[in-house]
Structure 1
Amino acid sequence: MLNITRQGVYYKNNAFVPVQDGPAAGLPSRSEAKKGTMAWSILEAHNTSGSMDSLAIKFDAMASHDITYVGIIQTARASGMKEFPLPYVLTNCHNSLCAVGGTINEDDHVFGLSAAKKYGGEFVPAHQSVIHSYMRERYAAPGRMILGSDSHTRYGAYGTMAIG
C-alpha cells in the first residue's frame, strides 16, 4: 500500500513519525532536525559568511563544457579575472568537432585550451570524457561542493553537493 504524507517525517523504530514543531517523543524540532542533514553540513562547511541565514558559498571545483565555457570565461576575463580561483575543468563533450548548425566549432576548443593554459584550468580534449563522468571520477567525494554550468550537474549519490 502507498501512503502519501504531506508533511515532514522522521524514520524511527521502523516507522515514519510526523515532524512536530516542538520536541515530541524524543525527536528534535524541525529547525534542529535540518541541522543534522548532509546538505546542512556541506553548506555550513562551505559558507564563508559566518551566518547560515546569509550564505556566501565557496566551491571546491567547477566545470563547464564547450557549449558554455567560452561565454563564462569571457565574462570572467571582462570582470578582471587573472586566474581561475579554484580547480576549473573545461570539457569538450557537447560540440565535439562536428558540424552543428552548419558551423565547425574547433575554434571554441582552441579557445578553451588556451584559457586553461593561461588561467590554470584542466582541459579535457574532445572525445576523451563527458563532463559528468570526469567530475564524478576526479572531484566528487563526500562533503565536497561543485559548481557546474549545466542543468544536470549532480553527484548526491557520492555525498557531493553539486549545483548546475
Structure 2
Amino acid sequence: MNWQELGKQVADYAPLLGGVLGGPSGAAFGTILASKFGTKETPNDIAAAIQADPNAALKLKEVESNNETKLQELYLKDKQNARLSHKDSRMPAALSIALTLFVVLVVYLLFFAPVPDASKDVLFMLLGVVVKEWSNAMQYWYGTTRSSSDKTKLIAARN
C-alpha cells in the first residue's frame, strides 16, 4: 500500500485528509495519523490500525478538524503545483484540437449523414457531452484561466 491508496481509504471518513494523504504531503500527515493510532509511520501499518480500530472514523474526523486550515492550504498548493508542472505540455492543445474535430464530425453526421432513428438520441447525448468538454478546453485557452495565467507570467517577468 502507498500513501495514495491510504488516502482513498481515509477519504471515506475524512475527505480533505484523504485528499492530502494522496498528494505530495501524504507522509507528513501520515506521521500525525501514526501517532493518533499508535503505530509505525507506514501506509500499511496505518491502514491496518484504522481497520482494527472501531473508533477510526471519529479519530480521522478529529485529525481533519484539528488540522483543517493546514489541510486546505496543502490541498490548494497541490492543485497549483499540478498546474505548474504541466504548464509547458502540448497535451491541452492536442486535446482541444481533437475535441474540435470530434465536434465537427458529430455535427456533420447529424446534418449530412443518414443516422438511424434508434441512434439519434445517443448521438445527441454524445454531442452534448463533447460540446461541454470542448467548451472547457476553449475556456482554458481563451477564458479566465488562460488570461489569469498570462497575467501571472507578466507579473513574474516584472519582478
TM bucket normalised to smaller: under 0.3
Between structures 1 and 2, the one with greater strand share: 1
Between structures 1 and 2, the one with greater helix share: 2
TM-score (norm 1): 0.24
Greater Rg over alpha carbons, structure:
2
